[in-house]
Structure 1
Amino acid sequence: MTLPQSLSDFEGRWNLTRVIRDARAGHVVRADGIAILSRSDDGLVYDEDVTLRLPGQPAMKGTRRYLWRDGGDGIAVHFDDGRFFHRLKLGKTFASDHHDCPPDSYYAEYDFSNWPHWKVRWIVSGPRKSYEMDTEFMLR
């Protein structure tokens, strides 16, 4: 089985599909688009461009950016303003981490069992949020 071993293994263009099950709002949001991980001076820049489909509403565009840095035994993921978000350990089939954003809590589960097709699940809970977000990535 091949697993990602370094930051550079993620460089490239990825098709992505996403399902967000929002328990608080009581609906399911679907999204698809691309994620481009491009080399920068100190790692990779993750740029995402998706089309979101909410029940009963017209489709809308969504974007996000993260900074991926070498984290020793994995990847340190930062928000685009440089604040630390979470760590992704490499060399394993599954990896997980937790991010507190009081009063909400974010838990990530990465699945590399079918690399270079990979998945990430976010479980978000707190007084303001309650959702699960599953995203699948496939190299273009």
Structure 2
Amino acid sequence: MYPVPNAAAYLTGHWSIDRTVVDERSGVQGGFTGTAVFRRSGDELLEQESGEFVWAGTSNRASRTHRLIPHPDGTADVCFADGRRFHDLDLRTGHWTTRHPCAADRYDGEFTVVSPNEWHLRWQVAGPAKSQTLTSVYRRIDPMPGEVRGR
């Protein structure tokens, strides 16, 4: 594990994403391949993911946006695009677990920072509506020209 003193500074930039999604009940497996851009927007960090999601042989464009609200101690709150709270995030040890209740389902997340340029995210979803495992690998893409990391 790679300790990260400031989650927002670490995440700022462009990342590739390789995600597998497994439906534990049906055994159907799919995946998402794309990018995530974390950029400053005022006092927040916006995460915008986009790419291709393949499920049961069908491929579709997919995207989502999260908002990270940094704290002075290097931690952050992660919110959905509409401002609803999603989960907390503390990467100071390089590893973090968190939980998000979603109606009757439960999302258990595990973040592991592997290096300055790679981190992993695993969500285990359990409940009456879903039983899934989502495993993502994020790898840093070189910053775009003129971009300063960590601002």
TM-score (norm 1): 0.93
**Contact 2:14-2:38 within 8 A present in 1 as well:** yes
Alignment RMSD: 1.4
For the 8 Å contact 1:94–1:113, the answer to whether it is kept is: no
Contact 1:3 1:115 in 2 (8 A): no
* Aligned equivalents of 1:79, 1:24: Cα separation in 2: 27
Specify the alignment match of 1:75 in structure 2: 76
SS in 1 for 2:93: coil
Q: Write out per-residue CA displacement over residues 54-93 of structure 1, whole angstroms, 9 at most, x where no aligned residue.
A: 2332x11100000001134411000111011100112112
Assess if the C-alpha contact under 8 Å between 2:2 and 2:93 holds in 1: no
Per the alignment, residue 123 of structure 2 pairs with 122
Separation of aligned partners in 2, 1:52 and 1:28: 11
Name the structure where strand makes up a greater proportion of residues: 1
Paired position in structure 1 for 2:108: 107
CA distance in 2, matches of 1:131, 1:44: 28
| Structure 1 residues without counterparts, runs of 5 or longer | none
Q: Do the aligned partners of 2:91 and 2:113 also contact (CA within 8 Å) in 1?
A: no
The structural deviation recorded for 1:2 is: 4.6
- SS of structure 1 residue aligned to 2:82: coil
| Per-residue deviation, residues 90-116 of structure 1 (Å, max 9, x unmatched) | 211210100111201010000113332
Pairwise mapping of residues 59-70 of structure 1 onto structure 2 (< 5 A)?
59-70=59-70
Write the deviation string for residues 3-23 of structure 1: whole angstroms up to 9, x where unpaired. 322112211110010000112
Match of 1:31, SS? Answer: strand
Q: What percentage of aligned pairs have identical amino acids?
A: 28
Counterpart contact for 2:2–2:94, Cα < 8 Å: no
Please give the alpha-carbon distance, in whole angstroms, between the structure 2 residues aligned to 1:27 and 1:84. Answer: 29
Contact 2:69 2:78 in 1 (8 A): yes
Distance in 2, matches of 1:26 and 1:101, equals 22
Q: Does 1:131 align with 2:132?
A: yes
* Corresponding residue SS for 1:87: strand
Distance 2:2 2:103 in 1: 37
CA distance in 1, matches of 2:28, 2:140: 29
The C-alpha deviation readout for 1:23-78, integer Å capped at 9, x for no partner, is 23420011110000010112200000020112332x11100000001134411000
Is residue 43–residue 68 contact of structure 1 (8 Å, CA) maintained in 2? yes
